[in-house]
Amino acid sequence: MEAVQACGGVALVLPAAQSAVREYVEVVDAVVFTGGGDVDPLYFGEEPVSTQRVTPARDAFEISLVRELLAARKPILGICRGLQVLNIAAGGDIYQDLSLPVGNGFLIKHRQNAPGWYPTHWIEVHAGSLLARIWGQARVRVNSFHHQAVRSLAPGFKAAAVASDGVVEAMELEGDGFVLGVQWHPELMWAKDTYQRQLFASLVEAAERRKTQVRS
Ligand code: MN
């Protein structure tokens, strides 16, 4: 909320009321999906594997909200769990636990012990992505506090940045909208880090731009 407000937005918190999803989508100009516990793997057709804290009401609410926002073409910024919710709601899936064998095995540390504001690993930003346009920079350092990650990207989405071990660190909807998910936590970094602040500033700009287009 502080980052959105520092960038000129007006931040509201939405109670997880599934019956209110349609009304929320009419009222808001954009949504930030925050970090949190694990999405119930039932949503991507799997049995639980070292699943941690699950919040059933929040899962159901956020998955509906993502789908309605995508249909309304409203801007989305998904952070950590928010990226995972975005991918699952749009038809993708995730690795349930990065401590289990993934791909060719070797993974860098994605659950740092350093302070939250402190970046601990590099990400490689894909040329031509929305993220590359926001940053104008091919390599950036980010923090890392996740034990899950994207496996299959949802249809219509592409990876926007990867870590050196191949883990998807950012994903976005193809096309010219603003639907971006990041696996790190910019909300812990933006006060000290211009790149992370730019994510929130770009979201607020995209929300404003879309609202102006709809009015005219
Ligand atoms: Mn990471």
37-56: average pLDDT: 94
Residue 103 has pLDDT above 70, yes or no: no
- Least Cα distance to 44 among 152, 132, 167 occurs for 152
Catalytic choice (110, 121, 146, 185): 185
Q: What pLDDT, on a 0 to 100 scale, did the predictor assign at position 165? A: 93
CATH code, residues 2-215: 3.40.50.880
Residues with CB under 5 A from ligand 1 (ion): 110, 144
* Confidence label for 213 from pLDDT (cuts 50, 70 and 90): confident
CA atoms within 13 A on the CB side of 54: 13
16-37: average pLDDT: 97
* Confidence label for 50 from pLDDT (cuts 50, 70 and 90): confident
Q: Which residues of 177-212 are buried (b: 16+ CB within 10 A; e: fewer)?
A: bbbbbbbbbbbbbbeebebbbbbbbbbbbbbeebee
* Confidence label for 212 from pLDDT (cuts 50, 70 and 90): confident
Return the domain boundaries, the chain: 2-215
Catalytic choice (7, 62, 80, 121): 80
Q: How far is the CA of 185 from the centre of ligand 1 (A)?
A: 9
Q: What pLDDT, on a 0 to 100 scale, did the predictor assign at position 101? A: 72
Task: Report how far residue 59's alpha carbon sits from residue 69's, in angstroms, rounded to the nearest whole number.
Answer: 15
Q: How far is the CA of 75 from the centre of ligand 1 (A)?
A: 23
Task: Report how far residue 151's alpha carbon sits from residue 99's, in angstroms, rounded to the nearest whole number.
Answer: 14
165 close to 184: Cβ distance less than 8 angstroms: no
Active site residue 208: no
Structure tokens at 153: 């990207």
121-129: average pLDDT: 98
Q: What pLDDT, on a 0 to 100 scale, did the predictor assign at position 104? A: 64
- Least Cα distance to 44 among 132, 121, 148 occurs for 148
Active site residue 187: yes
Q: What pLDDT, on a 0 to 100 scale, did the predictor assign at position 21? A: 98
Q: How far is the CA of 94 from the centre of ligand 1 (A)?
A: 14
Predicted TM-score (pTM) of the model is 0.96
Active site residue 7: no
